[in-house]
Structure 1
Amino acid sequence: MADFLRYEQQGHIVTLTMNEPERRNPLTGNSAVDDFLAAIARIRDDRSVRAVVLTGAGAAFSTGGNIRDMERQASGAVSGLEIRQDYRNGIQRLPLALFNLEVPVIAAVNGPAMGAGLDLACMCDIRIAAEQAQFAESFVKLGIIPGDGGAWLLPRVIGLSRAAEMTFTGTPIDARQALEWNLVSRVVPAEQLLPTALDIAARIAANPPHAVRMAKRLMREGMHSRLDTLLELSAGLQALSHQTADHREAVQAFLEKRQPVFTGQ
């Protein structure tokens, strides 16, 4: 794996660590997007992976865009058409890839998640925060907009009114307010952040992986589908589920009052 993103696997769980702490783990001006896309492709193709934990090295989760890139864009040295294409070929590839990854992803937010860093957390399925974490949809403070899908992601996580407040003011919120607003599902002391995330990942990984992946797909589709459309998709995926070896094992183990052993088949 390349320099920005550290890829570690233990059993069925992959931990991805953004590893540029001296610059607070920026998502532009480095290999971040390419590293994420390579990791996502690797996870997608590795059927042994059942859950992913994403976190940041150092004091920050991610503070988003690289200010030096913004300086170049603001200088007039590149055209608006070039900047548009840079977004489409760069950071905008990340939400499509990460949001649609069928393996569940847990964001373990260890510190500030600002701008694109907040939007990165919103691309994940579950967010837990250390007590010192902060969150800001801070683009407006730099005279720009969420160019990475944040205007689609954040309202679906916390609702339109609160998303509008965060987007229009750029004001950070702390971990406790993030919990109240359902941006995160847990707030824990810093030393418990990774153990908590890994415990959730282990409980996910203990289930039949096809059922978890299909359930995530249904939840993602449900964000923009009609009920009748989702029910039709559910019927098809359920038919596949009923024919799996792991489903048969789950039923048999329940009847025999023993722990099931799932093989991913």
Structure 2
Amino acid sequence: MTDPVLWQQEGHVLRLVMNRPETRNALGSVEELDHFVSLLRRAQADRALRAVVLTGAGQAFAAGGNVKDMREKNGLFGGSPREMRDTYRRTVQTLAQALRNLEVPVIAAVNGPAIGQGCGLACLADIRIAAASAKFAVSFLKLGLVPGDGGAYILPRLIGQARAAQMFFTGEVIDAPTARDWGLVAKVVADDVLLDEAMAMARAIAAQPPDVLRLTKRLLREGERAPYETVLELSAAFQAMAQHTEDHREAIDAFFEKRPGEFAGR
């Protein structure tokens, strides 16, 4: 059996490809989710990585949970309520936390439908680029379920409470231009150039001073939840740290010498 998520590294950029096209990349089993988490932990530990592109194989980004398993009460959907809660915490929610807490920037290259948990995964990225054929929905209610992956926290922060409520309460599918207009995705591109666009952006990100890049992402994350005064304090501390790096000196030298900087993460 092929791996449910592929690790494809090119220099400082990692491409993670959800690789179950026959199920529209529904990561339904405990083993598949555990594998995905293990790759994210590997990425977190790899200081050479500077950017991640997340995408799906085939015609879909990710279709969410396995409805067949729901009907047959297998995998994530088996056991008592207590057992199901514990399984959800250990798998779906552990995956969501590992992706959200990744220190390097993540770009979701949404190559097709991103439905349910699949939409949640896309929302956990820092930047979303959508193919023209991409579609988004959080259709948990249509299956008699609540969003169990933290989407009720993330989606309103991306598109606002009213539009998030509309998506959750109706289960409606929105197309890529609507997702762009609502601020869910940064840009929409032709299907055949999606991965090229995402990789180009990832390489541009990876060209930045890597340690300071991680600090910048941390500030953005803290800015989502911390008081303004706390973010100011962190900004002052991080700025002092940044100004004592070799990469800062290299950036200043490159600026005056009118050349690209060469950053080593020191």
Q: TM-score, normalising length from structure 2?
A: 0.95
Post-superposition shift, 1:40?
1.3
Q: Tell whether the 8 Å contact from 2:134 to 2:175 is kept in structure 1 after alignment.
A: yes
Residues 73 and 83, structure 1, Cα contact 8 Å, conserved in 2:
no
In the TM superposition, 1:78-117 aligns within 5 A as 78-117=79-118
Unaligned runs of 5+ in 1: none
Tell me, in whole angstroms, the C-alpha distance in 2 between the residues paired with 1:217 and 1:260. 22
Q: Is the 8 A contact 1:4 1:30 kept in 2?
A: no
**Bigger shift: 38-47 or 240-249?**
38-47
Greater displacement, 253-262 / 153-162: 253-262
Give the aligned partner of residue 52 of structure 1. 52
Amino acid at match of 1:91: V
Greater Cα shift, 39-48 or 142-151: 39-48
Q: Distance in 2 between matches of 1:105 and 1:248?
A: 26
Superposed, 1:155-166 pairs within 5 Å as: 155-166=156-167
Specify the alignment match of 1:6 in structure 2: 6
User: Judging changes above 3 Å, is the alpha-carbon distance between structure 1 residues 77 and 202 closer, same or farther for their aligned structure 2 residues?
Assistant: closer
User: What's the CA shift for 1:77?
Assistant: 6.4
Contact 2:78 2:84 in 1 (8 A): no
**2:22 aligned with 1:25:** no
> CA–CA distance in 1 between the matches of 2:79 and 2:257?
68
1:177 alignment counterpart: 178
CA contact (8 A) 1:130 1:175 kept: yes
1-structure distance, mates of 2:259, 2:56: 39
- The CA deviation string for residues 183-208 of structure 1, in whole angstroms up to 9 with x for no partner, is 10111111110000001001101110
> 2:15 is aligned with what amino acid?
T
Gaps of 5+ in 2: none
Report how far residue 107 of structure 1 moved.
0.3
Using the alignment, how far apart are the partners of 2:210 and 2:53 within structure 1?
16
The 1-side partners of 2:95 and 2:160 are apart by: 22
Matching of residues 134-145 of structure 1 within 5 Å: 134-145=135-146
Question: What is the deviation of 1:246?
Answer: 0.3
Does the CA-based 8 Å contact 2:14-2:49 persist in structure 1?
Answer: yes
4+ long deviations beyond 3 Å? none
Is 1:28–1:91's contact at 8 Å kept on the other side of the alignment?
no
Alignment of 1:199-218 (within 5 A): 199-218=200-219
Query: Which deviates more from structure 2 when the two are superposed, residues 81-90 or residues 171-180?
Result: 81-90
SS of structure 2 residue aligned to 1:8: strand
**Is the 2:108–2:128 Cα contact (8 Å) retained in structure 1?**
yes
Contact 2:19 2:56 in 1 (8 A): yes
SS at the partner of 1:39? helix
Q: In structure 2, what is the Cα distance between the partners aligned to 1:183 and 1:96?
A: 20
1:31 is paired with a residue whose SS is helix
Instruction: Tell me how far 1:30 sits from its aligned partner.
Output: 5.2
The CA distance in 2 between the partners of 1:42 and 1:81, in whole Å, is 30
Deviation at 1:139, TM superposition (A): 0.3
Match of 1:237 in 2: 238
SS at match of 2:185: coil
**Distance in 2 of aligned mates of 1:216 and 1:153:** 16
Residues of 1 paired with 2:187 and 2:258: CA distance? Answer: 33
Match of 2:255 in 1: 254
| Equivalent-residue separation in structure 2 for 1:115 and 1:198 (angstroms) | 25
Q: Deviations over 1:72-101 (max 9, x none)?
A: 449x96321111111111101011111011
Contact 2:30 2:91 in 1 (8 A): no
Equivalent-residue separation in structure 2 for 1:47 and 1:90 (angstroms): 25
